[in-house]
Chains A and B, each alone.
Chain A
Amino acid sequence: MKKGVLLGFLIMVLAACSSNTPEEYEPIPYTLEIPTLFQQKLLPPVIPANNPLTVEGIALGKKLFFDNILSGTRTQSCAHCHRPQDAFSHAFQFSPGANGNLGTRNSMPLFNNAWNYDELFTWDGKEFSLEGQAFEPVTNPIEMNGNWQDIEQLLNNHDSYPELFRQVFGAGRIDSTMVVKAIAQFQRTLISANSKFDRYLLGQETLTPEELNGFNVFMDEAKGDCFHCHGSDNNPLWTDNQFHNNGLDATFTDLGLGAVTGDPNDNGKFKTPTLRNLVYTSPYMHDGRFATLDEVIDFYSEGLQNSSTIDPLMKNVNQGGVRLSAQDKSDLKAFLLTLTDPEFIRDPAFNR
């Protein structure tokens, strides 16, 4: 009998101990606040079942995103090439990596990526999922040039990270999978949906005649015909998240999607970038060749280059494009600027 009482007491003590052990911490589930237009027009965002959003996970992802610990030199974070003030892109044509090396592609902006349903990321679509994408730049020699083993060791020996990771992922050694999951959680919260045009669609603001005409140029198949690839008032992502050869070059130095798929029919195809926040995301195109929006519009109007993989949606290629009038060009630019969301770049939740 005594033994039985002792055993019961021991069990109770152990149970009490285990309920106080740090492994039991349950992170707080986080529900994305989905903008009204996105709710109305778009399918739900992609949130993998094995990486649900939590308050602690997002906070950890944000801390990691801005932390130099992920680079080989400990001098560079994700935010060096994806700066909040540039709508998480970079103002340089090619961003210098941790060792000062330059790449060959312009840094893509990061927002509304939870609504990329095919989950193919980067200009050539070579990375699947936000988690998968976050792996690559850390070890890329011309980007952060890090080493996952070293980074994992640093994180495990850090004074604050082990507790933060434990709160999100439970007990266990910190590894690269946890790192990219946390960063992906943070990235899924980067939502931009409060531009002048959004408010216009919600009936909260009016557009000028020039902006309205610019929108019509954008939507007119005989003029800009931008909507087939770049979304519309019914696709507020302002991208189809697909890959097109938009007629930049007659021959290709960068094969884009073709280098990933190995299919020559994909040569010269790059991801359609979103048109939101263009004010902050210059320079433009995958190689940042155009410094200004005027150059971009001129290119589509008169500068198209023919090639075997040019998208059939590019019209009048032999004449260089659709040859917009000066007024239509100016109005198109005015419309594009209504897709600017200053609140997004100022949001303290997204800044260091």
Chain B
Amino acid sequence: MRRIFTLFFMAIAFANCNDLDADNEAQVTIQFTHNWDGFVVDDTTFNSFQFQTANGENVSIERLRYVVSQLELVGNRNNNVLTQDYNLVDVGNGTGLQLSSSNVITGDYQLRFRFGLADADNQDGVYQDLNVASFNVPTMLGGGYHYMQFDGKYKDANNQDANFNYHVIRAANVSNPSSPVFLDTSFTVDLGTITIRNDAVIEVEMNVAEWFVNPNTWDLNVLNTVLMPNFNAQLLMSQNGKSVFSLGPVTQ
């Protein structure tokens, strides 16, 4: 009887220990960083031709803004933490680069988010902060918002500076205005499982070079501006985008 009592007591003690573990809370910060095949991309590396695409064009970045949405830490005990409905990252202005959640219970989490806005969220004109950032997509292309506005210059075939506007939006084919075709080309990014033990900073890396390769090698001499109404270009961008993000260092 005494043994049974002791065993029962120990079981309760262990259970309490587990509860204590579960009650540990941490502050988790998601930090967006940007590189070009390992070389830092930020406002200090804008405006100079120091990057080269897989196709061989030298590139200067002048504006890089994009939206991520449904950013979640998905716990293995159904304890999902929705860090942000959506977030505009502006690399040039240095805004939206960090998102924090406090009271995150320690444990294992899957980090995932959506690049751009899913159709259900991509409603025209409803996000005031994105409106004042002039991030809208014209109604003639289905409205809603850009997923990304990436502007810069490249050296063309004659080694002259030429502009590019790599603007990613929901693909729209409006060549026949009476029956336009729209396709949600936003996509989910799943960065795998992270164990949160303490306050943590999780780096999400964007390799900007990947927008120009893998699977589609991008020729800026062919696809440079007026890409918003280009349905096929939007499909190519979406395909290339899927290898752009990766999990960077987790500091805790």
* CB-CB contacts below 8 Å: B113-163 with A: 124-125, 128-129, 131-134, 136, 138-140, 149, 151-153, 160-163
* CB-CB contacts below 8 Å: A213-227 with B: 216, 219-222, 227
User: Which residues does chain A contribute within 8 Å of B139, judged by CB atoms?
Assistant: 219, 233
| Contact flag A41-B131 (CB < 8 Å), given A233-B125, A312-B151 | yes
Q: Is the CB of A235 within 8 A of B132?
A: yes
| Contact flag A317-B128 (CB < 8 Å), given A220-B140, A235-B136 | no
Q: Is the CB of B134 within 8 A of A315?
A: no
User: Which residues does chain B contribute within 8 Å of A229, judged by CB atoms?
Assistant: 134
A308: min CB distance to chain B, Å = 7
Nearest CB in chain B to that of A39: its residue: B128
Complex: A265 Cα to B152 Cα, angstroms: 13
Complex: A309 Cα to B139 Cα, angstroms: 30
Q: Is the CB of B163 within 8 A of A312?
A: yes
Is A12 part of the binding interface, using a Cβ–Cβ cutoff of 8 Å? no
Nearest CB in chain B to that of A272: its residue: B134
Complex: A318 Cα to B158 Cα, angstroms: 12
Q: When each residue 205-244 of chain A gets 1 if its CB lies under 8 Å from chain B and 0 otherwise, what string results?
A: 0000000000010011110000111011111010010000
Which of A228, A235, A309, A310 contacts B131, CB < 8 Å? A235
Q: Is the CB of B125 within 8 A of A234?
A: yes
Which of A117, A219, A313, A317 contacts B165, CB < 8 Å? A313
Complex: A115 Cα to B133 Cα, angstroms: 12
User: Which residues does chain A contribute within 8 Å of B79, judged by CB atoms?
Assistant: none
A150: min CB distance to chain B, Å = 40
Q: When each residue 226-244 of chain B gets 1 if its CB lies under 8 Å from chain A and 0 otherwise, what string results?
A: 1011000000000000000
Which of A220, A222, A312 contacts B62, CB < 8 Å? A312
- Interface of A, secondary structure class, is loop
Q: Is the CB of B129 within 8 A of A43?
A: yes
Q: Is the CB of A317 within 8 A of B138?
A: no
Q: Is the CB of B165 within 8 A of A312?
A: yes
Is A130 part of the binding interface, using a Cβ–Cβ cutoff of 8 Å? no
Complex: A42 Cα to B134 Cα, angstroms: 11
Nearest CB in chain B to that of A265: its residue: B47
Q: When each residue 95-118 of chain A gets 1 if its CB lies under 8 Å from chain B and 0 otherwise, what string results?
A: 000000000000000000001010
Q: Is the CB of B134 within 8 A of A41?
A: no
A178: min CB distance to chain B, Å = 30
Complex: A265 Cα to B153 Cα, angstroms: 13
Which of B131, B140, B152, B160 contacts A312, CB < 8 Å? B152
| Contact flag A221-B46 (CB < 8 Å), given A42-B132, A313-B151 | no
Q: Is the CB of B163 within 8 A of A41?
A: no
Q: Is the CB of B131 within 8 A of A306?
A: no
**Size of the chain A interface, CB-CB below 8 angstroms:** 34
User: Which residues does chain A contribute within 8 Å of B112, judged by CB atoms?
Assistant: none
Which of B47, B125, B138 contacts A227, CB < 8 Å? B138
Is B164 part of the binding interface, using a Cβ–Cβ cutoff of 8 Å? yes
User: Which residues does chain A contribute within 8 Å of B228, judged by CB atoms?
Assistant: 221
Complex: A339 Cα to B62 Cα, angstroms: 31
Complex: A172 Cα to B62 Cα, angstroms: 50
Complex: A227 Cα to B131 Cα, angstroms: 11
Is B225 part of the binding interface, using a Cβ–Cβ cutoff of 8 Å? yes
Is B63 part of the binding interface, using a Cβ–Cβ cutoff of 8 Å? yes
Q: Is the CB of A315 within 8 A of B225?
A: yes
User: Which residues does chain B contribute within 8 Å of A317, judged by CB atoms?
Assistant: 163
Q: Is the CB of B132 within 8 A of A117?
A: yes
User: Which residues does chain A contribute within 8 Å of B133, judged by CB atoms?
Assistant: 240
Complex: A115 Cα to B63 Cα, angstroms: 23
Complex: A17 Cα to B146 Cα, angstroms: 64
B178: min CB distance to chain A, Å = 16
User: Which residues does chain B contribute within 8 Å of A314, judged by CB atoms?
Assistant: 163
| Contact flag A219-B140 (CB < 8 Å), given A315-B226, A317-B163 | yes
Residue with the highest number of chain A CB atoms closer than 10 Å, among B139, B149, B152, B160: B139
| Contact flag A240-B226 (CB < 8 Å), given A42-B128, A313-B163, A317-B163 | no
Complex: A210 Cα to B160 Cα, angstroms: 38
Q: Is the CB of A43 within 8 A of B161?
A: no
**Given A233-B139, A234-B131, A315-B165: 19 more A-B contacts, CB < 8 Å:** A40-B125, A43-B128, A43-B132, A115-B132, A117-B132, A220-B140, A221-B225, A221-B228, A228-B134, A229-B134, A240-B133, A306-B161, A311-B151, A312-B151, A312-B152, A312-B153, A312-B165, A313-B151, A313-B165
Q: List 30 A-B contacts (CB under 8 A).
A: A40-B125, A41-B125, A42-B128, A42-B131, A42-B132, A43-B128, A115-B132, A117-B132, A216-B140, A219-B138, A220-B140, A220-B229, A221-B225, A221-B226, A222-B226, A222-B229, A227-B138, A233-B139, A235-B131, A240-B134, A265-B47, A306-B161, A308-B161, A310-B163, A312-B63, A313-B165, A315-B163, A315-B165, A315-B225, A315-B226
